[in-house]
Structure 1
């Protein structure tokens, strides 16, 4: 009995361009969850993120004949489409902030974080929560840079701000995260001493 090897992403993209709906279904199964995570990082709402990803896949089917034929990296292509659709969603709803916002109070935030029993997953969750506490524009810039690996120029173009503003927002984010994490270090050290 011969086993068939699964189609590559590029083969599925080619089949999609040819009008094969099964190719769209398979791409959807492969990428839906990861693309929803990408969208949530921008819009901060799971339902909206799911809608955005579904719109991207609907758009793929609608514009299948016009899809680029030289796409070797289907995953990054889909992530970029979701990222752009997420930014459009924020822009259309005037949710891309135009001001820098106030940084949260470090000491109050850290005091709410118990330090005992901290493990790697817990540490990651705390870092994620700290990032989510950043003012909206600062958070968006940080996520686009460090999670989406976008360049400062790409971020500036996506948010319609200057590269200097991107640099300033990254400086603010790093400063806040450094201070916030520095307050957690004594808790981490204390936990390690108890082991």
Structure 2
């Protein structure tokens, strides 16, 4: 094995091609630490850096078995391979993180939308019950104003009552609803007009 230390990288590749496992171990010893340091410097994760280097050496083993594989500068070839694999790893990691973040955002927003819908539905049920509890004539005037969006004058004409009666009925309805539902719902009614 000591004789392999003095051989060039190309001579070692020729020996690997001939089936010499010791030649491959020599290349591994020459470049493993520097390739790991290069990968770790970019990835900041020991296991990922080890995986990158291991993958590069596996590919080197496979490529060295091909007759046309003869890099002019093995060190440059290996460092370039590590750099490219690191970029691929970072890109996949970024895409995975982007996907997970978008999935989490979707789940969070979906949950918020569902909560909003449930709260809105519950609030609407409370409002509807409160409106149903109004005296029938007052409820009719109120619903014509708020649900059918008729003016006070249009309501008065349809019901054969005065504009002032319509205004009074709506004021009384809002006062009752405010006491039953609280100030926030009351404000919703006022601004819904």
The TM-score by the shorter chain falls in which range?
0.3 to 0.5
Q: Judging by fraction of residues, say which structure has more helix.
A: 2
What TM-score does the superposition give when structure 1 sets the normalisation length? 0.43
Q: Which has the higher contact order (CA 8 A, sep 6+)?
A: 1
What TM-score does the superposition give when structure 2 sets the normalisation length? 0.43
* Structure whose alpha-carbon radius of gyration is higher: 2
